[in-house]
Amino acid sequence: MIPILYASQSDFEAKFARLVDARRETESNVAGVVADILKTVKMRGDAALAEYTQRFDGYALASEADWRIPLEDCARAYAELPADLREALDLAATRIRAYHAAQLPQDRDFTDEAGVRLGAIWRPVDAAGLYVPGGRAAYPSSLLMNAIPARVAGVERLVVTTPTPRGETNPLVLAAAHIAGVDEIWRVGGAQAVGALAYGTQRIKPVDVITGPGNAWVAEAKRQLYGVVGIDMVAGPSEILVIADGQNDPDWIAADLLSQAEHDPTSQSILITDDAGFARQVEDCIDLQIAQLSTARTARTSWDAHGVMIVVNDLLAEAPSLANRLAAEHVEIAVDDPERYLSAIRHAGSIFLGRMTPEAVGDYVAGPNHVLPTGRRARFSSGLSVLDFMKRTSFLGLDAASFAAIGPAAATLAHAEGLPAHAKSVELRIR
């Protein structure tokens, strides 16, 4: 039985603080191993990739045909999908594309009151690398969520790396790659694939930005390579916070909590409610539903180890402040009037409003990106967007009159900072 934290109890603050400060990221010291892999890939290129792929995936990159998945295979996989699945992927892609198109920033170009021309130009990066996991986390939805914003941003070259254990490919992932218009798909995975995307090898040209989910080694590789390339984020285990009153169907809320628990044994599901009886009903429903899941082992481990229920006295008065401290990846607000909560919750990766908005819809077809900050990083970061594949270049232009208006102040500040060459470059023009 999952313990319930009661906000009215004297030890609640201490228990809640431990919950906020807890870390579920992999504790294994992978940094050294990843550093060695990245160094080897940088030095030896394709030879290193071939050795690691044989060792970790049991797949030999022997001939040229072994390295890449032909785009024709992606088109074939799409064509051979059952009609309902193809239509679902198409719907998801259409909605994701429309939502992210609305994110495109506007260039600026104006002249201020001093006569100085100022502005900024937004431009896409030249190439983006998209990491697509294999095995349990081979999700076509993630490929769409990463590739489509890059295309909307205007990125010209989209490169996918994905492990294919024993040569096996996921037809759904290939179909998603076709829909998104991916340019290259390489049969390499792990930290070595991230290194190849960042440094380039004899076959794989380097990219400017790397995005996409992965295991602890992939996340660590992205962390170490930030600065060589841009990255989306260093993501940890998935999490959901559900704020729900007792008027909900406990089966619905149980399913919502399990939708994250089934991702990984380290995922976390939290319920905040003002009804202790409802909390116990939800727990009973969770026990019943887990037994029916094909992902039961993962969901049970996650729920037993990291599941939390919190009972407060006043849901509207107390839940938002608790949510802000948790800064969860996903926050569901299952009440009649979620708008009042929305205005009070400042820190969340994505917020799902009302009883009919389960987080799972956001994972697939709603439109907003499902690549979101975890581990309380929503306090300072945002979900993936077109801006992750773009950069802003400012520009300015002065004529004689505007230079006379602001130039002397620049020279004064340059002298104050002890930079005489800076000052001289201004003063020569003043004279």
Per annotation, catalytic residue among 329, 332, 359, 370: 329
Q: What is the DSSP string of 93-147?
A: HHHHHHHHHTTPPPPEEEE-TTS-EEEEEEEE-SEEEEE---GGG--HHHHHHHH
Residue 347 annotated to the active site: no
Q: Which residues contact 130 (CB under 8 A, 6 or more apart)?
A: 143, 146, 147, 150, 158, 159, 160, 161, 182, 210, 211, 212
The question of whether 329 is a catalytic residue gets the answer: yes
360: helix, coil or strand?
helix
Which residue out of 100, 178, 306, 330 is catalytically annotated?
330
**CA separation for the pair 257, 271 (Å, rounded):** 8
Residue 380 has φ and ψ, to the nearest 5°, of -140, 0
By the 8 A CB rule, do 315 and 243 touch? yes
Phi, psi of 129, deg, nearest 5:
-105, 130
Tokens of 200: 């380039």
Q: In this structure, are residues 76 and 262 in contact, taking their beta carbons and an 8 Å threshold?
A: no
The residue among 353, 304, 308 whose CA lies nearest residue 333 is 353
Report d(CA 240, CA 358) in Å as an integer.
Answer: 11
Cα(383)–Cα(190) distance, integer angstroms:
23
Sign, CA dihedral 195-196-200-205, equals negative
Name the CA radius of gyration of the chain, rounded: 25
Q: Residue 61 is encoded by which pair of tokens?
A: 């990159």
Q: Which residues are catalytic?
A: 329-330
